[in-house]
Amino acid sequence: MRSLRFPTLFNPVASLQTSKLLRGRERSARRPEHLTERRTKPPVVELRQATKVYPGGHVALDRASLRVDAGEFVFLVGPTGCGKSTLIKMLIRELEPTEGEILIAGRDISTLSSDKIPYLRRRIGTVFQDFKLLPSRSVYDNVAYALQVIGASRAEIRTKVPDALRLVGLADKVKSYPDQLSGGEQQRLAVARAFVNHPPLLLADEPTGNLDPATSVGIMQLLYRINRTGTTVFVVTHDREMVDKMRRRVIGLDAGRIVRDQSAGMYADEESTREFAARVREEMGVEETGY
Amino acid sequence: MSRIIFFIAEGFRALRRSAAPSLAAIVTVGVTMLLLGVLIPVLQATSGKTEEVRDQVGLNAYLYDDATPQETDELASQIAAIPNVAEVEYVSKDQALAILSDRFEAKDQSDLTEQLPGARNPLPASFKIKPDDLDNLNTVRAALTPPGTDGKPKPISPIIEEIGESEDEAATITEVTGALKWGLIIVAALLTIASLMLVANTIRLSIYARRREVEVMQLVGATNWFIRWPFVVEGLVCGLIGGLAALAILFVGKETVLDPLAENFGLIKAEQTIAFAKLALLLLVVAMTVSAIGSGLTLRRFLKV
């Protein structure tokens, strides 16, 4: 019964039909108009035959090509070890492709000199799988660090950090340290830090891994809200159920190869963040958590 | 400007956070500086003494009392023409007596020269000959007394009564102090290298403990220098504290041990040694530079992501 109620994305037709039946609403077969318009600009992310072979011969990514346009919300799904994290690491040039090109905003990032890499990373907010918080800094200072790095003024830091923390619902934890936070709170802190300087591209590596469904919906709602401000959001996950509910573009990765890229027909109507969260919660059968 | 304040604040924050490794670094820097602070003056004192002694070494050509001024002048130019002779000084009979009289005075002994019968001066006039290098002493001596027709050494001038080495014991002292000096230089060099490695290692440990933090900073877009500056500040502060601690100990040691001793022992009272203020400044600069560069450079390997 579960598969009926929560059709997998591997069956888009069933998904569409079931969804129509359940929700009783028409869905657009095309991506929203504002996304189509931006196709003339260079894509925010573009992979051209990108291949990554680790020392020892393990092929993590095998001639992967894809493009993500400005304002899109994209899921990258696939089983563990399929190369998802490798792909994320290559987008911020933590790793370099063995072959092929990776372009961010039309620029091949492998041509960047190493002293320019920090500037690339400042334009990309990254939510790491293991959060990568600074354990010796408070919640406030963790978020502030991302601004200090880009040379923001104190006044800017004083306004933007509380804003970001309010957005993720951690306004009352500013003085706590990362080890005093729950997993979900740490995750949201990581999102706040990634988003605090409003980067044009937000990468999230397993942002809902190990979180309960209610917290996961909260995180996804947060990412959706960020996406609606115009930020391109790229989420890596194996939480297929969540992906189905989000109804966004999905790129499937298996053994380093892109096995599918579904965008047409996957987009839900323009929803407000509240509508989105309400729908996903309802579909997943979880209670509202309050942020 | 706000950046500089930020880096300084970050440096002090790191010091507070990693108190134990920082303390280790401070102690190491302190011990090294203490060692240098003792070794530098000791080295200077020994090399100063050596120079003093070397200065006195030379040859004396004692002259017969009946040498005429003309013969004396002639000999002076003859000696000056010998290769490797750096300096020729004529010491008249009166001057020789005055020097002897001064020596008695310096030793607080009664001036025996005053008791000479009829104010007769028994000392000969002489030429003090200094070779350009101590090693050429024998060459100069051979030139002064070339082999005569019978094969025995014969002075180049008939007015020379005898060739004597000014201070035979001086040569021995020179050899001993020379060996001592080299020994000290080697010990100082080894100790300095060992302590520098110790400082570098201590700093590396403290940075290694924070390598994950450094990695995170890089991943959120911090430039290498943005990460490095707080570490440099931290190194500077460690160097400053360690250096000051060493100086405090050195100062106390100087005041309580060295200065009272110096009043009794001439060797310690070597005037050529560095002034304390100058030494203090040198040590502080060295301590701060070494630890700042140490932490800045050590970080390099962790910055390669």
CB distance A114 to A142 below 8 Å: no
Q: Is it the case that residue A90 has pLDDT exceeding 70?
A: yes
Mean confidence (pLDDT) of chain A:
81
pLDDT for B174 equals 64
Residues A194-203: tens digit of each pLDDT:
999 899 999 9
Read off the pLDDT band of A101 (50, 70, 90). Answer: very high
- Chain A residue closest to B305 (CA)? A94
Contact A122 B224 (CB under 8 A): no
What's the mean pLDDT in A251-255?
89
Q: Which residues of B90-102 are buried (b: 16+ CB within 10 A; e: fewer)?
A: bbeeeebbeebee
Mean per-residue pLDDT for B253-266? 72
Fold type of domain A2-123+199-284? Rossmann fold (3.40.50)
Interface of B with A in 2-21 (CB under 8 A): 2-3, 6, 17
Nearest CA distance, B256 vs chain A (angstrom): 45
Say what the pLDDT of residue A233 is: 94
Place of tokens 């009829």: B118
Count chain A–chain B contacts defined by CB atoms under 8 A: 50
Which chain A positions have a beta carbon within 8 Å of B305's beta carbon? Answer: 94
Model pLDDT, residue A172: 94
Sheet of strand A124-127: strand arrangement = A124-127, A201-205, A232-237, A73-77, A249-254, A257-262
Q: Which residue has the higher pLDDT, A167 or B269?
A: A167
Note the pLDDT of residue B302.
73
What is the pLDDT at residue A24?
40
Tell me where in chain A the CATH 3.40.50.300 domain(s) lie: 2-123+199-284
Chain A residues whose CB is inside 8 A of the B2 CB are 153-154
What pLDDT is stored for residue B117 in this prediction? 65
Nearest Cα to B218, choosing from A165, A186, A146, A45?
A146
Q: Which of these, B95, B94, B70, lies nearest to B158 by C-alpha position?
A: B70
According to DSSP, residue B147 is labeled B
Q: pLDDT per residue over B124-165, tens digit each? A: 888 888 887 777 777 888 888 888 777 777 787 888 887 876
Min distance A179 CA to chain B CA atoms (Å): 14
pLDDT band at A162 (very low <50, low <70, confident <90, very high): very high
Per CB-CB distance under 8 Å, the chain B contacts of A148 are 6
Residue B52 has pLDDT above 70, yes or no: no
Question: Please, what are the domains in chain B?
Answer: 2-53+173-303 (no CATH), 58-166 (3.30.70.3040)
pLDDT in tens, B65-102: 888 888 888 888 888 888 888 888 888 888 888 888 88
A132/B221 touch (CB, cutoff 8 Å), yes or no: no
Residue B231 has pLDDT above 50, yes or no: yes
**Residue-level pLDDT at B260:** 72
CB contact B215 to A (< 8 Å): yes
- For the segment B182-200, the average pLDDT, to the nearest whole number, is 77
Nearest-by-CA chain B residue for A151: B3
* A7-21, A79-93, B40-54: range with lowest mean pLDDT: A7-21
Q: pLDDT-based confidence at A291, cuts 50/70/90?
A: low
Average pLDDT, whole number, for chain B?
79
Residue pair B59/B144 in contact by the 8 Å Cβ criterion: yes
Task: Tell me what the mean pLDDT of segment B2-29 comes to.
Answer: 84
Contact list in B for residue A92 (CB cut-off 8 A) is 219
Answer for the pair A143, A190: CB distance below 8 angstroms, yes or no. Answer: no
Contacts of A118 in chain B (CB under 8 A): 218, 221-224, 226
Let me know: does A251 contact A260? Beta carbons within 8 Å.
yes
Provide, rounded to the nearest whole percent, the portion of chain A with pLDDT above 90: 38
Judged by average pLDDT, the poorest of A20-29, A92-101, A252-261 is: A20-29
A43-47, A271-275, B300-304: lowest mean pLDDT where? Answer: B300-304
State the smallest CA–CA distance between residue B6 and chain A in angstroms: 9
Q: Could you tell me which chain B residue has the CA closest to the CA of A115?
A: B223
Model pLDDT, residue B51:
67
**How large is the average pLDDT for residues B169-197?**
73
Closest CA in chain A for residue B14: A136
What residues of chain B lie within 8 A of the CB of A157, using their CB? none
Distances in whole angstroms, Cα of residue A193 to Cα of each of A121, A160, B14, B27, B46 = 13, 10, 21, 38, 62
User: What are the pLDDT digits (tens) for A127-153?
Assistant: 998 899 999 899 999 999 999 988 888
For B264-287, the pLDDT digits (tens) are: 665 555 555 667 788 888 888 888
Three-state DSSP at A249 gives: strand
pLDDT > 60? residue B169: no
pLDDT for res A40: 65
